[in-house]
Amino acid sequence: MNTSNHRVKRVLLYPLAAAVIMSAALIPSAPLAVSAAQADTALSAPAPADSRGSSVSGNRTAGNQQQQALSRVAVIIDDFGNSMRGTEEMFKLPVKITVAVMPFLRSSEQDARRAHELGFDVLVHLPMEPRQGKPEWLGPGAVLTSMNDAEVRQRVEAALDNVPYAIGINNHMGSKVTGDERVMGIVLEVCKERGLFFVDSHTNYRSVAGRMARELGMPPVENHIFLDDVHSASHVAKQMKLVQERALSQKFCVTIGHVGIQGKETAAGIRSGIAEMKDKVQFVGISDLVREEWKWNSRLTLP
């Protein structure tokens, strides 16, 4: 991303963030955490998957009729835990999804249990300090770079203890923390001790999480495409097409959407994407992907 591009994004973003914050302030139930997440996302989202050459037709020409194993898509939905808008719609999606639950909120435990009962994977959606944005956007129990090693460890362990059935962690915001070797080292260490893995939401394109995970013998799982960086069902459906292309060209794709202010629209866009893609790709939980792509077997046994 070049600097002028970055500047344009900032100029566009600040009035938007201000508007979101003001509207959130007017609606007591609207959690600030979501606007913050999206602000973080908008500033440093990874470049969209490139769409050259990797088309479906390219695959088809190589292709034989025998249906080889379908490419896999893992859809992660962030920001559960606060009875957010779109929660029901996401739970009703017709394929396996991965539910990322923020700790210490009013429906954290309930959302995690519900997801598990439905056969969905559960992640702790751990609030982590961003490079921009205010600490109060993060939600309770956040990991900050100003904390010492023991404090970071305590925060990560407390969050994991708060969300039942979690098989891993992904980051809420976190553009600063995922670039910090000391703090990420502790987060990954706790994951490894508990037989969990870390999914880099990729809010920082200079994240060290993937490289450090590899060094520790853990799967370097990361988000490839944000679905709802623009808020409309049609944009989400368009992003789902990119997800399909990416999955077909590299055999799998991890994608992230959100419950929240626009959660119903995001769910609708995902639903229509699923309807179009279900014969071309296989929708899996993040645990299936980690097991099959990285041959990584968690020691974790769920009740």
Nearer to Zn ion, 37 or 261 (CB): 37
Nearer to Zn ion, 219 or 263 (CB): 263
222 is a contact residue toward Zn ion (CB under 5 A): no
172 is a contact residue toward Zn ion (CB under 5 A): yes
CA dist 10 and 18 (Å) reads: 12
Residue type at 215 in one-letter notation: E
Nearer to Zn ion, 78 or 129 (CB): 78
Query: Applying CB under 5 A, what is the total number of residues that bind Zn ion?
Result: 4
Cα-Cα-Cα-Cα torsion 22, 25, 26, 31, nearest 10 degrees, comes to 110
Q: How far is the CB of 174 from Zn ion (least distance, A)?
A: 9
| Residue in 35, 42, 76, 79 binding Zn ion, rule: CB under 5 A | 79
Concatenating the DSSP letter of every residue in 109-167 gives: HHHHHHHHHTT-EEEEEEEE--SSS-GGGS-TT-B-TTS-HHHHHHHHHHHHHHSTTEE
Stretch in the footprint of Zn ion (CB under 5 A) among 34-42, 66-74, 187-195, 219-227: 34-42
Provide the CA 228 distance to its chain's centre, in angstroms: 11
Strand bridging mode 281-284 / 252-258: unpaired
Stretch in the footprint of Zn ion (CB under 5 A) among 29-37, 148-156, 178-186, 274-282: 29-37
Site for Zn ion in 230-249 (CB under 5 A): none
Q: How far is the CB of 183 from Zn ion (least distance, A)?
A: 18
| Residue in 78, 89, 129, 180 binding Zn ion, rule: CB under 5 A | 78
37 is a contact residue toward Zn ion (CB under 5 A): yes
Site for Zn ion in 1-20 (CB under 5 A): none
Nearer to Zn ion, 78 or 265 (CB): 78
CA dist 218 and 194 (Å) reads: 12
Q: How far is the CB of 38 from Zn ion (least distance, A)?
A: 8
Nearer to Zn ion, 259 or 268 (CB): 259
Q: How far is the CB of 295 from Zn ion (least distance, A)?
A: 29
Distances (CA, A) of 298 to 74, 191, 194: 17, 10, 9
CA dist 294 and 199 (Å) reads: 13
Distances (CA, A) of 259 to 53, 135, 222: 33, 21, 19
Nearer to Zn ion, 37 or 43 (CB): 37
- Binding pattern to Zn ion, positions 128-167, x when CB under 5 A? ----------------------------------------
Nearer to Zn ion, 258 or 281 (CB): 258
Nearer to Zn ion, 37 or 184 (CB): 37
Q: Which of 110, 138, 105, 137 is nearest to 122 (CA)?
A: 110
111 is a contact residue toward Zn ion (CB under 5 A): no
Determine the angle formed by the axes of helices 3-26 and 32-44, rounding to 10 degrees: 170
Give the three-state DSSP class for 254.
Answer: strand
Stretch in the footprint of Zn ion (CB under 5 A) among 17-25, 74-82, 146-154, 268-276: 74-82
Tally of CB atoms within 10 A around 30: 19
40 is a contact residue toward Zn ion (CB under 5 A): no
What is the helix, strand, coil percentage profile of the chain, to 5? 45, 15, 35
Q: How far is the CB of 112 from Zn ion (least distance, A)?
A: 15
Return residues touching Zn ion (CB under 5 A).
37, 78-79, 172
